[in-house]
Structure formats: C-alpha cells, structure tokens
Amino acid sequence: MPHSGAMTTPAPAPVRPPLAAFWRDLPREGRLLLSIVVVEFVGTGLVLPFSVVYLHEVRGFALSDVGLLLGVPPLVALAITGPGGTLIDRLGARTVVIGAVVLVIASDVVLAFADTLVVAAVAMLLNGLAQGVQFPAFNAMIAAVVPSEARQRYFGLNFTLLNLGIGLGGVVGGLVVDVDRAITFQAIYLADAASFVPILLLLLGPLRAVAPRPEPHDREDGDASYRAILKAPGMRPVILLVFASAFVGYAQLNAGMPAYARVVGEVSTQGLGIAFAANTVVIVLLQLVVLQRIEGHRRTRVLVAMGVVWAFSWLLLGLSGLVPGTIGATLLVAACAAVFALGETLLQPTLPAIINDLAPDDLRGRYNALFSGAFQSASVVAPPIAGALLGADRHTTYILLLVAGSLACSYYAVARVERALPAGANGGADRAAA
C-alpha cells in the first residue's frame, strides 16, 4: 500500500513548441498566406500616414470636407459588416476576400486621380465596402485553413508581419512624397493597389480551393441569425469585451492619444511620429517572444494582463500633461505608445482565436462579422467622447476613464468571459481537458 503522505508529482509545465515547428507543421495554404503579408501591408503603410496631407494639401479640399471624406469608410464598413458576414457564409470566405481585394484596388486607383470631391467620395465608398467584409472574410478564411491549435500563433505572427509591412511602407512613403508634386502621391496610391495583386493571384491560383462555400448544418433560419449567435455559449460576453477593449484601446491610440499629446502634453508632430514608430518597433520585436510565453496559458488570463498593461500605458500618457512642451512629455508619450504595443501583442493572438474556436464552420462569417462590428462600433463612438472630454478641459477625467476602463476589461475577462467560454475555446488547460 502506498504511504498516505507520499508527495504528488507536480503538473508538467506548458509545452511551448518552437516557432520553427509551428511553421513546419502549418498547412501549405497557411504558409502561402503568411508569406505575402509584408508585401500587402507595405502598400498600406505607404498611404496610411498621408491621407489628410494628400486630400488637403495636394488636392486642395477644405479640412472640413476632408474630415467628412475620411469618415465615410468606417461608417460604410459598419453598415455593411452584418450583411457581409451572411454573404461570407453563403458564398465562402475566399470568394468574398477576392471581392474585397478588387474593391480596395479600385479604391486606390480612383483616389490616385481624385481631383474632385465627388470622385474622392466614390473612392472612400469603395474603401468602406471593402473594409466592411475584408476583416471577417480574412479571419474566416484563415480559420478554414489553419487548425484550431495553431490559430493563436498564426494570428500573432500575422500581426507581426502586418506591422512590419506598415512600418516599412511608412518609412518609404515619407521619403517619396512631396506636396509640391502630386505625381508622388499618385505613385504611392497606385503602389498600394499593386501590393494587393499577389494575394489576388494566390486566391485565383494556388489557393483557389480554400474556404469554399461551407456545407450548411441542419438548423432553422432563426438559429443562424445574429441574435441567435449572440445567445450561443460565451459569445455575448466575448463581444462585449471586444467592444470595451477597442473603446479603451485602439480607438484611443488612433484618436484620443494624439489629441491629448498635442493639446495637453504639447508634443510636436515629430514627437507623435516617434511615438507611433516606437509602437511598431515594440510589436515587431516582442510579438514572437510573447507568443512563446503565452503558449499553454488560458487566453482570458492573457487578456487580464493586457488590461493591466494598457492601464499603465494611459498613466504614462497622463503624466505627459504634467510636463507640457518638454522632451519629457515626448518621451512619456512615446513610452505610452510602446507599452500599449505590449498589450497589443497580448490581444491580437487571443481574441480572434477565441472567436474562431467558438464559431461553427457554416457560421464563421457571421461570428467574425460580430467581432468586426464590435470593433468598428467602438472606433465610431470613442473619438467623439474623447473629443468632448478633452475639449471641455476634463483631462484628468479622460485619463481616469481609460485607466479604469482598461482594468475593468481585465476584471471582466476573468470574472465573466472565462466562466462563460465552453471548454476548448480558452486555450491552455481548458483545451487539454476538452
């Protein structure tokens, strides 16, 4: 008989296979998709920082009109996301991705020659239509190609390559464009259009058989509605967490943070450029390290860490307001963007993996559309709230809102989302048990 006081063997540590093994084990289709991410997003980086400069300084549109033009894509995307998710499930993700890529190419070409507001508005409309289906269709296609156990790493590596491409494109674009030569801006928009040709050729050639129209399951029409999907186990709290994290996260990084840095911290535009460069560098350098560290852990616990990291980043932004117009303010804003990037490396592999582990094959488009819609909704709602608080000189209230909101995301992830997720969707020990 064994002794009653014998020591138990400790549980083994989570296995963290090297990234080389991940690449080797990845299906051929997944490797092909990853191989062109940098090329695709170099084009995006070429034009991303220069939209206002091109439309206002080169084309001569009033700033008020430029603001309206740039508001068209997110609003159109938000309106089209729901129908787009249904379209993905009916036609197949690959078919919808092809349509989105064609729309993006058309948008870039039209915008390159947009010498009137009407032509520019058409380009922005095309861009919004593409945005509305591109994200959910790409995610659905990736989930159809990449097995569940590899998706977290895939989404993380994809995010690294995406940022590398945008960073390289931004550097090249800054060297090429000249506000006194419209042709330099036309060149970068045409180059952006050309950067989407490789993915189009892949989808029409070697990947023509991936993500076809899914076989429908035996379910009533009402069971495939967005309302029914939100009632599926774990889905409603996950979507609420997506909205909240986008509200206190990306929407503020893109709108509220630059506004606070300029108005309160009195940071120069060059200082803002340094901050966004620091953000990109941290993502490129740390994402692969983070992927190794979070392997085998519950995704909700990773999201807890994300909220804490973001709370600290917003505290750094708040401190910049105590030393306005100094090098210290610039360094604090850059530190805010860099620390925020660490949180991004925790979010990007986990939330998309959770969504696609929850989704059945024939409803994957709708699940990813809900994900995209929650993200876009936050991007529409957050900037006006940030503008109202900062415009009313409620700077401390603004920072406290972001810090408290980030910590609330951490609490909600472990107190609500973790309990609601079905076994297997949360990674780590839950996946092993499932």
Domain assignments of the chain as residue spans, ordered by start: 17-204, 225-434
Contacts of 16 (CB under 8 A, 6+ apart): 292, 293, 295, 296
> Residue 206 has which token pair?
């070697």
User: pLDDT confidence of 4, banded at 50, 70, 90?
Assistant: very low
Average pLDDT over the chain, rounded to an integer: 88
Annotation: CATH topology of 225-434: Growth Hormone; Chain: A; (1.20.1250)
Mean pLDDT of 181-202: 94
> Residue 337 has which token pair?
């963007």
What is the chain's length?
Answer: 434
Cα separation of 228 and 34, whole Å? 33
Lowest mean per-residue pLDDT among 19-28, 332-341, 424-433: 424-433
User: pLDDT confidence of 3, banded at 50, 70, 90?
Assistant: very low
Contact, 265 vs 333, CB < 8 A?
A: yes
Give tens-digit pLDDT for 101-152. Answer: 999 999 999 999 999 999 999 999 999 999 999 999 999 999 888 888 888 8
Contact, 5 vs 136, CB < 8 A?
A: no
- pLDDT of 214 higher than 80: no
**Quick check: do 17-204 and 225-434 share a fold?**
yes
Mean pLDDT of 58-76: 87
Mean pLDDT of 40-52: 87
The pTM of the full predicted model, rounded to 2 decimals, is 0.86
Max distance between CA atoms of the chain, in angstroms, equals 89
Identify the CATH class of 17-204.
mainly alpha
- Residue at 311: amino acid letter: A
Residue 10 is predicted with a pLDDT of: 46
